[in-house]
Chain A
């Protein structure tokens, strides 16, 4: 069965990972701009990173038959310096028109500070002015509940937001319900120690159903697994869930969400 990994940081992974993912039938990846493990020293570093995500990574993926899409933004960890963040936001329009870009992401909160909120409001404004889809990073660990509620408050107060074109990512047991109830897509991230496991992701789907749920690896430069979506599929099969349900979550759902972006030009495998 083909699958999407709708949130993975391939720029931090090797070409061998692309090859392995392709062999395991990964068809499409979504790569949000994020924190590369260190703070950048200037806007040029962001500029080059955005070029990497829109020029080099799509080619590296295509070499293995994987379709590569990206999201442009400034991550919450580097959003604290509002002036610097504003300069990075000014770079985004040029990249948002590039052919593999799905929208603005991953954006959100990290320590839930006033400055992070100011930067986030600037990013949402840009997204709304350009009718872009948005992908939200929710904070880690003890900050997740607070940060997710704050993001939902911000979006609820903005009448321009079309919730069917927004994903609240890294949802866990205590945040998935509000995200789904308010009409957003909810991402579940399979990431060791700090996020969900394939087992807990399957549990959440049994509790909340498959509608508007995306499952991703968020694999990056840390200990993480670019085949995590595949492990989730295996767990669902072990529990004897039907193939149609598994396909819905790892293929139909991300396809539907990505189709909300004007730049998404999906090539189904049968038309290759």
Chain B
């Protein structure tokens, strides 16, 4: 089912929101840098990988981002649980 809006209209509507979200993200990363100590955990790596994902081509960016933040699914879980 197509969205009834043209791509330029979507961008016109969302541009400032996207800008705000990116700025917020930039300021948050700066804040982590300015704060005492060094963060070295998986969450920072996930953030880096998400940014890589966003600058790549579509489609399904949201779905792929969700998967990036998901635990792996093991098809053999029922056998592991003795079911």
Q: Which residues of A pack against B, CB within 8 Å?
A: 114, 117, 141-146, 149-150, 153, 157, 172-174, 200, 203, 205-207, 209-210, 239-241, 245
Is A205 within 8 A of B1, CB to CB? yes
* Residues of chain B in range 30-83 having any CB-CB distance to chain A below 8 Å: 60, 62-63, 65-67, 69-73, 77-78, 81-83
- Tell whether B5 is near chain A: CB-to-CB under 8 Å: yes
- Tell whether B7 is near chain A: CB-to-CB under 8 Å: no
Judged by DSSP, the binding face of A is: helix
Known: A174-B63, A174-B70, A206-B2. 17 other contacts (CB 8 A): A142-B69, A142-B70, A143-B71, A145-B66, A145-B67, A145-B73, A146-B70, A150-B73, A153-B77, A173-B62, A174-B67, A203-B62, A205-B1, A209-B1, A210-B1, A239-B4, A239-B5
* Contacts between chains A and B (CB distance < 8 A), count: 52
Give the interface residue-count category, chain B.
20 to 34
User: Closest approach, in angstroms, between the C-beta of A171 and any C-beta of chain B?
Assistant: 11
Residue from B3, B4, B66, B81 in contact with A173 in the complex, judged by beta carbons closer than 8 Å: B66
Complex Cα spacing A245 to B65, Å: 28
Chain B residues whose C-beta falls within 8 Å of the C-beta of A142 in the assembled complex? 69-71
User: Closest approach, in angstroms, between the C-beta of A173 and any C-beta of chain B?
Assistant: 4
Contact pattern, B 2-32, Cβ under 8 Å of A = 1, otherwise 0: 1111000000000000000000000000000
Closest A residue to B77 by beta carbon equals A150
